[in-house]
A = this chain, B = another copy of it.
Amino acid sequence: MSPSEAKEAPKYTKKDFESDQDVRWCPGCGDYAILSAIQKTMPDLGIPKEDIVFISGIGCSSRFPYYMNTYGFHTIHGRAPAIATGLRVARPELKIFVVTGDGDGLSIGGNHMLHVLRRNVNLTILLFNNRIYGLTKGQYSPTSELGKVTKSTPVGSVDRPVNPLSFALGCGATFVARTVDRTIPHMDEMLKRAAAHKGTGFIEILQNCNVYNDLAWNVIYDRESKVQHELRLEHGKPLLFGPPDDRRALIMQGVSPKVVRAKDVPESALWVHDETNVNAAKLIADLFAPDFPIPVGVLAAVEAPVYEDLILEQEQKAISDRGPGDIAKLLTSGDTWKIS
């Protein structure tokens, strides 16, 4: 049963989701915007707030649960997806959000991320990607660009970065989206979409760490650059981007995406976005500025079996077939012998 069916949720306001804890992020941190966006969206989910749980690992981003007036568990580094899986299997009627970072979710937590995604556990995962380790005061992360100069890499990092969207899709994720900490309304929309998804809803949120990696995402923050590069994905709509006076279209040339002037392309030849096509999503996920647009929105949303649903089906079937377990019966079943 979904929580909403369970009980009628009271009418909430943003305030209802603000906890009494002082928020301990640096002034100017992108996390503030995300926090307020989420607190603002919560009432629209129509879920009683006692049925909502935020689970996180460790990191600035993972401090998140303390600031939500719901149930919350700030756990250990990288393990939030596993903990959330256990919680969901125990309590499938709860609405569970996982908050993680590019280090928490993709460095130490990469394996749990892989497996929660392939299992398609019904969770909403918010990955705050600031391309840096914030809490530990600024080392490069798995999403930092090659050659990144940080405390731990004074002459530049030597690791090729991982793309969270491509990774998630490679793991078999059933819902993959991207949004940006500075576009509140879009964040709201993505959040609702992900929360409504049956299975694991994975959202990458581009987030600014103004202390250790300021403006890492400026290419999508800067007004002019944003106009040039932002590609808003909308199901059923063609992949068009760029300024009104110079629209660009993304098309397939053979098996490679290509950018062309929109007016040079016949209506029929446009690439129409289809959230249910994971193949397409994988191609879109790899795109980024400057040579390509920056996709924002829902890349993929497909139906697939949900891990804990199957577990409970098996349990229900076992009980309806042979009745609930009875330890006394079990103990005396099979080979026994009496001694008198």
| A232 vs chain B, min Cβ distance (A) | 18
What is the 8 Å Cβ interface bit string for chain A, positions 128-172, against chain B (1 contact, 0 not)? 000000000000001000100000000110111111001111111
* Least distance between A142 CB and chain B CB atoms (Å): 7
Chain A, range 267-286, C-beta contacts under 8 Å to B: 271, 274, 277-280, 282-283, 286
Query: In angstroms, how far is the closest chain B Cβ from the Cβ of A237?
Result: 15
Q: Are B171 and A162 in contact (CB under 8 A)?
A: yes
Residues of B within 8 Å of A330, CB to CB, are none
**Closest CB of chain B to A288's CB: distance in Å?**
13
- Check if A142 sits within 8 Å of B158, measured CB to CB: no
- Which residues of chain B have C-beta atoms less than 8 A from A167's C-beta? 114, 170-171
Contacts of A310 in B (CB 8 A): 158
**A107: chain B residues within 8 A (beta carbon):** 115
Quote the shortest CB–CB distance from A141 to chain B (angstroms): 12
Quick one: CB contact mask for A316-334 with B, threshold 8 Å, 1 for yes?
A: 0110000000000000000
Contacts of A340 in B (CB 8 A): none
B162 in contact with A114 (CB, 8 Å): yes
Kindly provide the distance from the CB of A163 to the nearest chain B CB, expressed in whole angstroms.
Answer: 7
Residue contact A277 to B256, C-beta cutoff 8 Å: yes
B160 near A304 with CB under 8 A, answer yes
Separation in Å of the A150 CB from the closest CB of chain B? 14
Looking at A142, A146, A168, A310, the one whose CB has the most chain B CB atoms below 10 A away is A310
With A115-B142, A255-B279 as contacts: A166 and B158 at CB distance below 8 Å: no
Closest Cβ of chain B to A233, distance in Å, is 13
Chain B nearest CB: distance from A135 CB in Å?
20
- A172–B160 contact, CB under 8 A? yes
Would B119 and A160 count as touching, CB distance under 8 A?
yes
Q: A114 and B118: CB pair below 8 A?
A: no
CB distance from A39 to the nearest CB of B (A): 32
A277–B310 Cα gap in the complex (Å)?
38
Q: Across the interface, do B256 and A305 meet the contact criterion of CB distance under 8 Å?
A: no
| Contact call A311/B158, Cβ cutoff below 8 A | yes
In the bound assembly, the distance between CA atoms of A114 and B78 in angstroms comes to: 15
Q: Does A120 contact B (CB under 8 A)?
A: yes
CB-CB < 8 A to A311: which residues of B? 158
A260 at the interface (CB under 8 A from B): no
A118 to B145, CA, bound (A): 12
A210 within 8 A of B: no
Instruction: Give the contacting residue for A255; candidates B280, B314, B318; CB below 8 A.
Output: B280
Other than A108-B111, A168-B170, give 6 A-B pairs with Cβ distance below 8 A.
A106-B114, A115-B159, A119-B160, A155-B318, A162-B172, A167-B171
A residues neighboring B (CB under 8 Å) = 106-111, 114-115, 118-120, 142, 146, 155-156, 158-163, 166-172, 252, 254-257, 271, 274, 277-280, 282-283, 286, 304-305, 307, 310-311, 314, 317-318
